[in-house]
Structure 1
């Protein structure tokens, strides 16, 4: 089997959330594109894909349904999100800090916030990999991208748990690869000259 066979070719999200917030929907689309661009996804005991992943939230659980390219069922897995609560809260706070830092750009502060965001992403990806391991093996980058997508799903389901600024289009600054923070740092540097 080649590595290309153990990857996701499609990701879909809970259709009951469709259209609630156009900004979050756009962020989810970006997260899906990032995930599909490069990923390693290996359902334990399966001979190869590529795979389609469907994600849905039910209460405090994430439902994952994986099918093969031909539509055949591969695995269905339900993952409690209880252990992710602190990480969601920390992610919320780091994004809120970033939004507040934009009002008075400071290069060192923006860099520190970006470092914190990356640390939270690393913690979340490690936890996600460990929690998925009995059913699905993923690499670190795939786990990071999946966490971004899960957070975006969570944000849409629980808008009160997401900073208002993120509900209006800045979430890509915190859920993406840090490009927005890098732009903010550059703007801050330009303003300090």
Structure 2
């Protein structure tokens, strides 16, 4: 039986920060259960494509429909090797869901690998799991990390920051970096 990864996303999650991890983790042999509160396997979430076009912040365009692969209501974190939190706009409202917060806390309490990209660390801040941790995020989320007791680390968008069981990256250009480090945390032998 394949090891399982829980991928937490919602409507207007960033397209590349959802599709790329979902597919890459499957290529590495993991069963990826993509879930969203109030939705079940087969339901669709809409994605958004964020781009960096020289403006003060990213631009946003409608992305693809992404089919969820598992039911949120039946998530049992003890069945999973790791948690991947996608970015985009979904973390800002997913953090209002009490079960989402519990899920994040359960992964940290079990010291399992957790990856969060872009705005994903908003869920980590809301779950109060960042105290004493180094983390990166989209720069606008940096204050959330700091206010939650973490240390915001500014890195290029194609990099990742690892601190214990946590790996973070600022945006989709860091998909490769965050996935390499996340896979290593889950025991994969990755050579570059």
TM-score (norm 1): 0.29
RCO higher in 1 or 2 (8 Å CA, sep ≥ 6)? 1
Larger of the two Rg values belongs to structure: 1
Bigger strand share: 2
Bigger helix share: 1
